[in-house]
Amino acid sequence: MRVRFPDGYILEADFIPSERIHSLVDLLLKVLARPDLPFYLYTVPPKKRILDTSQDFYTAGFVPGANVHFSYDLPEVSLLNADDLKAGPFLREEILSLDGLSLLLKPASQPDDSRMNSSSLQSDASQSVPVPTTTNKKPGRPKWLKR
């Protein structure tokens, strides 16, 4: 499962097909920079909000893998500056610092909620490492194309 954020980061996590979408929402609440703000997930095309988080990933059609998008769910007239929220960062600094690391993974079905410190945050974050979506392509002809 991949969650795409508006700032270009992608959060990737592995789930069992029988797990509920709510487990993804729980993971997002742990890694978001602003978990106090309401948000929603959606798929494209066409844009379709994921409303029923009690469905399992298989029933929702997210197996073998899916890309979902993240957005804050704020009213048009808000006390917060919407432009600042659109620019990000969407993920916590501890999670952004894990960019590109490959750590041992703890199964998503066995979270350790007894305490929320940096070690438990790292074990949750290690199962989902954000990946920037920029690519370095060389202009020109591909190697396999002959003249």
Pick the CATH number of 2-132 from 3.30.420.310, 3.10.20.90, 3.40.50.720, 3.30.365.10: 3.10.20.90
The two tokens of residue 9 are 């980061």
What's at 41, amino acid-wise?
A: L
The answer to whether residues 129 and 99 touch, using CB atoms and an 8 Å cutoff, is yes
More confident residue, 93 or 14: 14
Q: Which candidate, 127, 103, 95, places its Cα nearest to that of 24?
A: 127
Assess whether pLDDT exceeds 50 at residue 113: no
Q: What is the pTM of this model?
A: 0.60
Q: Where exactly are the structural domains of the chain?
A: 2-132
Condensed to tens digits (0 to 9), the pLDDT of residues 116-136 reads 443 444 444 445 555 555 566
